[in-house]
């Protein structure tokens, strides 16, 4: 059985700065296929895309790099961290991306004029990770991403 490798890198004609009107549009255009999850990935191949939605207290965004909080341990209703994160398939995929050096498409939720949209931030790579106490005291995975050159 021949499994296809997920698309790493730009998909179609999308380029940094392009805007998408919804998660549904991202999914239909295969830019970021999950309609809810922040990471599109397989543990074996790595992360192909992520969405920065400014919902994780342990995300840290800078101009030249950012720290992306891993998956898990959050309350589904409040979004607050209530438990330690574990090595979920999504966290494994981000670790795999660090190992392979493959590019990760990054989309960021923005609200120009009050309406949520998603801006394509381009290709980034996972260069480091840490696992330790987050702002709420629970252990979280944090992945450092830098522009893919």
CATH number at residue 121: 2.30.280.10
pLDDT tens by residue, 69-90: 999 999 988 888 999 999 999 9
Please indicate, yes or no, if residue 103 is contained in any of the structural domains.
yes
Contact 144, 129 (CB under 8 A): yes
Predicted pLDDT of residue 2: 47
Please indicate, yes or no, if residue 11 is contained in any of the structural domains.
no
Please indicate, yes or no, if residue 96 is contained in any of the structural domains.
yes
Residues of the domain holding 92: 19-147
Please indicate, yes or no, if residue 60 is contained in any of the structural domains.
yes
pTM for the complete prediction?
0.90
Please indicate, yes or no, if residue 112 is contained in any of the structural domains.
yes
Report the number of distinct structural domains present in the chain.
1
Collapsing DSSP states into helix, strand and coil, what is residue 62?
A: coil
pLDDT tens by residue, 91-129: 999 999 999 999 999 999 998 777 889 999 999 999 999
Predicted pLDDT of residue 5: 67
């Amino acid at each position: 059985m021949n499994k296809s490798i997920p698309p790493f890198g730009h998909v179609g004609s999308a380029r940094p700065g392009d805007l998408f009107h919804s998660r549904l549009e991202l999914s239909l255009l295969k830019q970021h296929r999950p309609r809810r999850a922040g990471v599109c990935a397989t543990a074996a191949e790595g992360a192909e895309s992520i969405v920065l939605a400014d919902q994780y207290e342990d995300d840290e965004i800078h101009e030249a790099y950012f720290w992306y909080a891993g998956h898990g341990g959050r309350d589904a209703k409040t979004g607050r961290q209530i438990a330690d994160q574990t090595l979920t398939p999504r966290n494994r995929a981000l670790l795999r991306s660090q190992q392979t050096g493959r590019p990760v498409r990054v989309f960021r939720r923005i609200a120009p004029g009050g309406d949520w949209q998603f801006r394509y931030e381009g290709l980034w790579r996972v260069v480091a990770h840490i696992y330790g106490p987050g702002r709420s005291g629970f252990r979280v995975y944090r992945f450092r991403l830098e522009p893919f050159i």
